Amino acid sequence: MSQTLVHFVSHDYAGITRARTFPEQRLESNLKKGLCWTPANLALNPFGSIVENPWGASGDLIMMPDRDSEVCVSGDDSTSPLRYFHTDFLNMDGSPWEACPRQYLKRQVAGLAELGIKAIASFEHEFMFTDIQVPAPCFSLEAARSEEQLCSLIVAALIEAGVDPEMCIPEYAARQFEVTCSPAQALKAADRAVNVREVVREICRRQGRRVSFSPVSSLNPGTNGVHVHVSLWSEDDLPLTYDPGRPGQLSELASHFSAGVLEHMNALTAITAPGVVSYQRLRPNSWSAAYACIGQQNREASIRIAPIAHLDGNDAARQANIEYRAADALASPHLVLGAILAAGIDGIKRKLAMPELVNTNPSSIPASEHARFGLRALPADLDEALQELAADEVIKSGLGAALFDCYQAIKKSEIREMNNKDEKEVRDIYSAVY
């Protein structure tokens, strides 16, 4: 006889979902009073070391579950169900703990609400089934059918987990697949991004399969991105992103928002492309993002204005959204979306003008024309990205001192641990964790 277990989880600065596990019979009481957590655990780097941090051996936090965030995936004959709740970290007096990643996103959502706006978002995940022996042609029916048994289990589990998957498709690179899901309110979208990763891993574990979300895996030349789609809405659900008469068909509000994201993009990469290996992905001509720029339907642009299908019955205004492409699955979705919103809010408040759109390959634009497009090379490595973050007062102060200091320490430890390793070794190490 076994007892069903439930987990309270927190997806941390290192992009790893940490858990506290207890018997189901304690669920009602734990939902009310939460569980304990040690602040210094937030200073774990991806490779298991606790780095220097503001808390040391002292202090305690309450890990308080969000009842609305429950995820449940039924078990089968040989596996127990997967059941967990996302949590917020609270101080022992019940007040929000400033350095909590979910609280960080909530603060940005509140900042947007002060302007009468809400964000709807969706995360697209690419990943590789790394144990495929003979990859089928990219985008092919053969690739889809070869993995249909696994993908249908993944899709069923995602539906049960409340993720509302839209597609599970074979992608361009060998062994690569992609899951997209429907847009949701910001906090739910970020929770869902974690759920996509954990549910895909769960089903692969059950089936004895191997999967990697690392931006560059050991095997393949292709790259795994996480593309974050964002649209702006009024509090009473009117779409605010679209204006057919303006550049890129972006409303004035969405143009300011996008210009803010562009302005802070080099600092954002420290959060959205947060591993040493991430910079093996952010290279020109890989449909990821090597330059900070805004483009319409341009897959080399780090901010891509997504296409709108003008068909009968389609409301263009409700489809309009921008896609942030410089993110990967090493990053915390809560920090990623929070940072994008913080940058966008700054753009709205300062009424930043959107530069000319880049609708060609940004690598082909001569340096003399970069200013016109607001074009800048994104950081070449994590160290450069961290320096950009440290120099960006808006993004840095929004994170709060403790989160910023701990985050920097984790990332610097990753740089130290990858020092003197060649690109392949770095890919192997990250692929083993993510």
Task: Please say which residue, 178 or 381, places its beta carbon nearer to Mg ion.
Answer: 178
Task: Please say which residue, 139 or 425, places its beta carbon nearer to Mg ion.
Answer: 139
Q: What angle do CA 66, 86, 320 make, to 5 degrees?
A: 90
Q: How far is the CB of 183 from ligand GLU (least distance, A)?
A: 17
> What's the rounded Cα separation, in Å, for the pair 150 and 169?
12
Task: Please say which residue, 102 or 281, places its beta carbon nearer to ligand GLU.
Answer: 281
Q: How far apart are the first and last CA of the chain?
A: 33
Question: How many residues lie near Mg ion (CB under 5 A)?
Answer: 1
Q: How far is the CB of 171 from Mg ion (least distance, A)?
A: 5
* Parallel/antiparallel/unpaired status of strands 291-292 and 294-296: unpaired
Which residues fall within 8 angstroms of residue 103, CB to CB, at 6 or more apart?
88, 89, 96, 97
Scanning 2-10, 57-65, 66-74, 175-183 for contacts with Mg ion by CB under 5 A, the matching segment is: 175-183
Task: Please say which residue, 251 or 272, places its beta carbon nearer to Mg ion.
Answer: 272
DSSP structure class, residue 212: B
Task: Please say which residue, 80 or 285, places its beta carbon nearer to ligand GLU.
Answer: 285
Q: What angle do CA 355, 287, 351 make, to 5 degrees?
A: 20
166 binds Mg ion (CB under 5 A): no
| Binding site partner of 346, from Mg ion, ligand GLU, none, Cβ cut-off 5-8 A by kind | none
| Binding site partner of 139, from ligand GLU, Mg ion, none, Cβ cut-off 5-8 A by kind | none
Q: What angle do CA 218, 219, 223 make, to 5 degrees?
A: 80
Scanning 39-47, 157-165, 171-179, 334-342 for contacts with Mg ion by CB under 5 A, the matching segment is: 171-179
160 binds Mg ion (CB under 5 A): no
Task: Please say which residue, 225 or 362, places its beta carbon nearer to ligand GLU.
Answer: 225
> What's the rounded Cα separation, in Å, for the pair 287 and 123?
17
| Binding site partner of 223, from Mg ion, ligand GLU, none, Cβ cut-off 5-8 A by kind | ligand GLU
Q: How far is the CB of 130 from Mg ion (least distance, A)?
A: 17
Question: Coil, strand, or helix at residue 53?
Answer: coil
Across 157-242, the runs of DSSP E, i.e. the strands, are: 165-170, 176-181, 184-185, 226-234
Q: How far is the CB of 28 from ligand GLU (least distance, A)?
A: 43
383 binds Mg ion (CB under 5 A): no
Do 326 and 265 meet the contact criterion of CB atoms below 8 Å apart? Answer: yes
Q: Determine the residue with CB nearest ligand GLU.
A: 225
Residue ranges binding ligand GLU (CB under 6 A): 126, 223-225, 281, 287-288, 299, 325
Please give the single-letter amino acid code of residue 152: S
Which residues fall within 8 angstroms of residue 112, CB to CB, at 6 or more apart?
118, 119, 341, 344, 345
Q: How far is the CB of 11 from Mg ion (least distance, A)?
A: 22
- Could you tell me the two tokens for 240? 């605010």
> What's the rounded Cα separation, in Å, for the pair 312 and 45?
50
Task: Please say which residue, 171 or 392, places its beta carbon nearer to ligand GLU.
Answer: 171
Question: 35, exposed or middle or buried, with CB in 10 Å at 0-12, 13-18, 19+?
Answer: middle
Task: Please say which residue, 267 or 282, places its beta carbon nearer to Mg ion.
Answer: 282
Q: Tokens 């959205």 — which residue?
A: 272
| Binding site partner of 356, from ligand GLU, Mg ion, none, Cβ cut-off 5-8 A by kind | none
Q: How far is the CB of 309 from ligand GLU (least distance, A)?
A: 17
| Binding site partner of 299, from Mg ion, ligand GLU, none, Cβ cut-off 5-8 A by kind | ligand GLU
Q: Determine the residue with CB nearest Mg ion.
A: 178
66 binds Mg ion (CB under 5 A): no
> What's the rounded Cα separation, in Å, for the pair 30 and 34?
5
Binding interface with Mg ion (CB under 5 A)? 178
